[in-house]
Structure 1
Amino acid sequence: MSEDAARRDDPPVVAVEDVTYDYGETLAVEDVTLTVESGEFLGLVGPNGSGKTTLLHLMLGLLEPDEGSVSLFGEPIDEFEDGHRIGYVAQQATQQGSAMPVTVEEVVEMGRYPHRGSGRLTDADRRTVREAMERVEIADLADRRIAALSGGQRQRAYIARAVASEADLLALDEPTVGVDAESRDRFYGLLQELNDDGITIVLIEHDIGVVTDRASRIACINRRLFHHGDTESFVESDALEEAYGSTSSVVHHHH
């Protein structure tokens, strides 16, 4: 069986069905249904305050839906225990860690913790950590304090942690905020390589042009879902106008 055929037989990495969530009187996500298949690169877009981060947190089990259900890798979210299969880079990760007295290597080693049981890191674990740092081009920063890094470097350290954990799903919430244009382009090149290697990616990004250039599928949300499908059908649809208002348009970035 080919790799693509095997992938089609896998359960969805994420399955969200009829999910609703509110913060008290504020309805954040309403009746959303979508799936993320193995190997997809899903861009999650919507205006500020549209429920994107809430939906991502529901997808990862960080929040429990008020209505509906979520599963990860075919298991109900409340029964899912393989947290090492998920690498999550939270919003403003480039600003986080400024007070952490740890090195880059120590941050990346955290990705091995779920694999080691109660023992120390093995030689194999340390090789995996080194390979992860090399993979994202920060091996030369191994002994640097995470607090001393630029936003782009810190971002790569958190990606390396996810790579070291051997994550199957990488979820990122506006990871390029505060990162310069050159670092951002290199970062998205790295994401594309990781996706080409089989890692499923869910990305929240405010720059719609970047998402449509990079992602294979788009979910457009403003509390409820306005589009979920391939990028081309999103660009050709009215979803952007309906979710954002009539002044929005897609601007493509040429690299």
Structure 2
Amino acid sequence: MNELMLDPRLLRSFVAIADTGHFTRAAERLGMTQSTISQQLGRLEDMAGHALIDRAARPVRPTPMGERLLGHARRILQLDEEAQSLLRDPAGTAAISIGMPEDLATLAMAQGLARFAARNSRIRLDVVTGLSRDLAVRYRQGEFDIVVVKEDQPAADCRASFPEPLGWFAGPGHAVEARDPLPLVTFPNGGLYRDTMFRELEAIGRRWYVAFSGSSLQSVLAAVSAGMGISLLPISVTQGQGLRRVDGLGEATPMVVSLYAREDQEPIGDLVALTSKVLENR
């Protein structure tokens, strides 16, 4: 059977004739003339090599071969309608890429993004988490539409910035701060807190060594809680973790959380405002 038989226009005429039992009623249903619908059925029958409608019957009805085709034709037309409906629906067809540190991808941030998504079904949000320095480089290279990073000072094109107080923390019941050299729990090379830790300890003359390096916030928090060492962390991420604040190791200057965006037009402008509000209320 020629693949042109699958042309939905011809199948639709065939199904309409079979359903109504009349060429005239089928033509009215499809909004075409009787001659046109007869021609489309004729084309389908020529391709099939079989009569599909018994024209001598009153009302007309499918032939045995037409009965075999009818169920398949209905399924093809249903799939065709579903495909056309899908193409008419723009949901998820435009993407906004966002980069942010892992500890800022919180439930509150997810809820904020969910509110945006509910108002903008056409938009798909592609969120990537990582180290701030890496995210900043990738933003400058054009990979992200919006990026949130932690840094010492915001750049001139920053859309919004928020202070990020830091503190020294150790696990409960572990007096690791009394050890010499001091064991540290850090992020990998390139992690902002890592370099700040080294500078602060060297400024007060404390000897140190890296006892544990973890690539995720959860691994660092777990290592500190287990007593593997102390770490310099954002105070906001330690809430509810059961960690102990350690004094006497110098007061690290707060960092800033900076938000950058390529444009301020909608919908990115709306997303920038929403993200800024979540960061401000942390």
For the superposition of Structure 1 and Structure 2, which TM-score range results when normalised by the shorter chain? under 0.3
More helix by share: 2
Select the structure with the greater relative contact order (CA < 8 A; seq sep ≥ 6). Answer: 1
> When the two structures are superposed, what TM-score results if normalisation uses the length of structure 1?
0.25
